[in-house]
Structure 1
Amino acid sequence: MPRTISLLGSTGSIGTQALDVIARNPESFDVVALAAGGADPALLAQQAAAVRPALVAVAREDAREAVVEALDAHGVKSDVVAGDDAVAQAAGIGADTVLNGVTGSVGLRPTLAALEAGSTLALANKESLVAGGVLVKRAVRREGQIVPVDSEHSALAQALRSGTADEVERLVLTASGGAFRGWTRDMLQGVTPEQALKHPNWDMGPVVTMNSASMVNKALEVIEAHLLFDVPMDRIDVVVHPQSIVHSMVEFIDGSTIAQASPPDMRLPIALGIGWPSRVADAAPGLDWTTAQSWEFHPLDEDAFPAIRVARAAVAESGLHPAVFNAANEECVAAFAAGDLPFLGIVETVRSVVEEYEAPGDITLDAVDEAERWARRAAHAAIHG
């Protein structure tokens, strides 16, 4: 029997690549639900026509009519739900696997819905784990219910198969360096959003690409690794690897380091995420060993890129401070893209907001929501005065 899949964020970068993997393995996967924001009804309808899901969900209520019309034009009779809870409804449909490829902390409720439904969660939405880490871990029903889809965490999950938990010395996440790899802090003065969107290796959405340029994306990944693998923050390192071939490494107590290597193609970790623990044949091309190549590794310049230092401080403060870190960054990235904040102001503003925040005692979903609202207000005030 094929594995049933609920695909969240189907029209985004992760979603479209996931559907490519699924299309080439129709005997292995059956898409029962598609969910998207609603900005591209035509693409969503094309996807639905290809996989014929039982349910199509759109987050924007005002997109419902356009989606229904597009589905009708393709002869698709899927049920359609729309509104704030629609994506979570698709997540909780009871599919064998839910791939959460939504961007931003709005992915938290779908993440919780998938876990509470007992589905395996293939998690590409790191922000939901960062924002609601305690809640997500509390919702897990069985070992291995969350399978990471970020290339770095997928690499760590694979490398961790080489030893037991008490044999792990440290995790080493690799970073491409983003659009400004090798730049000094002085060189980063006055860079533009257009420059920040020119990632040298990966084809990602605009928010993730900008976060990569500031190294906030890597900071979020450090927090995610800490939560996924129960490794203390001070035993998680970051190294710059320009080629993006080695996706991350695990160092064990005997001095051995196990690395996972593959071309920079997200279809491989996506395929592993939806097929876990089995591998999907021919998910992506392998490395070419017939030509000479060099792999470089450089220490991270934390003066130019202090985001990881700020993330470590956030985790040390409380379980809600990472939600503040993430929400403040989303506001700052939007302000940078609009020309209202300089590039270096992104992390500086996030740092000031994180330092100002005072967390309440209890961590609940309402507390996470309030922490994010507070962070957005505080960031907005810091940016606009």
Structure 2
Amino acid sequence: MSDSPAPLADPHIAFDPSEGRRDIVVLGSTGSIGTQAIDLVLRNPDRFRVTALSAAGGRVGLLAEQARQLRVRTVAVAREDAVPALREALKAQYGTAEPLPEILAGPDAATEVAASPCHTVLNGITGSIGLAPTLAALEAGRTLALANKESLIVGGPLVKALAKPGQIIPVDSEHAALFQALAGGTRSDVRKLVVTASGGPFRGRTKTELAGVTREDALAHPTWAMGPVITVNSATLVNKGLEVIEAHLLYDIPFDRIEVVVHPQSYVHSMVEFTDGSTLAQATPPDMRGPIAIGIGWPERVPDAAPAFDWSKASTWEFFPLDNDAFPSVGLARHVGALAGTAPAVFNAANEECVDAFLAGRLPFTGIVDTVAEVVAEHGTPRTGTSLTVADVLEAETWARARAREIAAHASAAQAAVQATAEARA
């Protein structure tokens, strides 16, 4: 925007729309974001060309099919043991008429392709393992279409030190919405950002009513089809807390000017309120192809990237205040974001461990955020400042994961003892 310094994600930064077809690297190509991005590319071959793909290595058949469809130069997998199966899958796809793409393997493979020659890197990796590829793409001067919010959250100071103004285009639906709405005014015009939340499957329940919810309950999201970790994060609203931290880092807006409201229909993806009292909202039917198209195509829009509303049909759009008592995760995230440094990495890592414990039946639903809060409190004053390194972030994450597992195991043992006592009395 017009003020200085410019935020990481800035729709006012001048991009050259006349550069022809863009070369794209897709990280996490076999996941939800990656597959939808590839669908978008295949429907717009005159606009985009994918040069490299990376994936974890669990779906080598799909990865090989994507490589053939896109005729990529390089395919990367994190799991080295997946290489033989990947090579056979590529041979089956390509036959003997043309050479196979280069194969990279190992924990640094995605980081290597993130720095390869291209215009834009779409980081669709899930989790904080996306941090190294994010830093590599920025250091190489690529435009970063960022769907991997965790890399920005856990490595905030590191990302901000590398990113040039406007180098990051957000792909989260909420932040793509804010990005577009912010184009309607200057930075000094912004009064607050309003991040919308569907409310998840437990909207309207009290904290007491949440104590007994099951794994199946938490995975039944009313609006979006996502992976289990993100779905549980949406049920606890930890995901919304992470998005508040992300909004602060992307747009350089103070936490007290970032509001969360519940919008069950998920039509309005977020809003910007300006100082003259007007509010700009970005709205589409729930579909991630729209935000992906913004991420890889900005400042041009990709025609028919996602469905539009049929305004001839009546509909009702509702908005409710957030119940901070039942869902304390957003307030905890604000606290963590204000602490900065390694604190967001601790928050995110502890949450990932607690979600795993909940999905495995070792931790009650309300124990997720309670345990994360305990780990954050024990972490104390985070390491901050310009001396923060990737090693510091990884060390904080390792400690947080271990401590969260300890607390969850203790809670599980205590719960089992209570249940055994109750059964014995019965």
TM-score by length of 1: 0.98
Matched, 1:131 2:154: yes
CA distance in 2, matches of 1:251, 1:43: 43
CA distance in 2, matches of 1:194, 1:54: 41
CA distance in 2, matches of 1:274, 1:199: 27
Write the deviation string for residues 69-89 of structure 1: whole angstroms up to 9, x where unpaired. Answer: 111111161100110100111
CA contact (8 A) 1:94 1:118 kept: no
Aligned-pair distance for 1:195? 1.4
Correspondences of 1:301-320 after superposition (within 5 Å)? 301-320=323-342
Question: Partner residue of 1:103?
Answer: 126
Aligned-pair distance for 1:94? 2.4
Does the residue aligned with 1:162 lie in a helix, a strand or coil? coil
Question: Partner residue of 2:198?
Answer: 176
CA distance in 1, matches of 2:112, 2:87: 17
Q: Which runs of 4+ in 1 moved over 2 A?
A: 358-362
Aligned-pair distance for 1:203? 1.7
Matched, 1:360 2:379: no
Question: Partner residue of 2:400?
Answer: 375
2:49 is matched with which residue: 17, 21, 30? 30
Does the residue aligned with 1:204 lie in a helix, a strand or coil? coil
CA distance in 2, matches of 1:304, 1:177: 11
Give the count of matched residue pairs. Answer: 384
Question: Partner residue of 2:218?
Answer: 196
Matched, 1:241 2:266: no
Does the residue aligned with 2:222 lie in a helix, a strand or coil? coil
Higher alpha-carbon deviation: 72-81 or 17-26 = 72-81
Matched, 1:270 2:292: yes
CA distance in 2, matches of 1:360, 1:163: 36
Does the residue aligned with 1:143 lie in a helix, a strand or coil? coil
CA distance in 2, matches of 1:328, 1:77: 41
Write the deviation string for residues 314-351 of structure 1: whole angstroms up to 9, x where unpaired. Answer: 12223210110000000000000100000000000001
CA distance in 1, matches of 2:307, 2:244: 27
Write the deviation string for residues 153-210 of structure 1: whole angstroms up to 9, x where unpaired. Answer: 0000000011111111100000001121222112211211121111111122221111
TM-score by length of 2: 0.89
Matched to 2:273, the amino acid is E
CA distance in 2, matches of 1:319, 1:296: 37
CA distance in 2, matches of 1:192, 1:79: 45
Aligned-pair distance for 1:356? 0.8
CA contact (8 A) 2:127 2:151 kept: yes
Write the deviation string for residues 15-55 of structure 1: whole angstroms up to 9, x where unpaired. Answer: 11111111110111000010000011111111111101111
Question: Partner residue of 2:36?
Answer: 17
Matched, 1:158 2:180: yes
Matched to 2:145, the amino acid is A
Does the residue aligned with 1:35 lie in a helix, a strand or coil? strand
Aligned-pair distance for 1:65? 1.4
Does the residue aligned with 1:281 lie in a helix, a strand or coil? coil
Q: Which of the pair has more CA radius of gyration?
A: 2
CA distance in 1, matches of 2:62, 2:204: 38
Matched to 2:354, the amino acid is C
Aligned-pair distance for 1:3? 0.3
CA distance in 2, matches of 1:216, 1:90: 30
Matched to 1:149, the amino acid is V
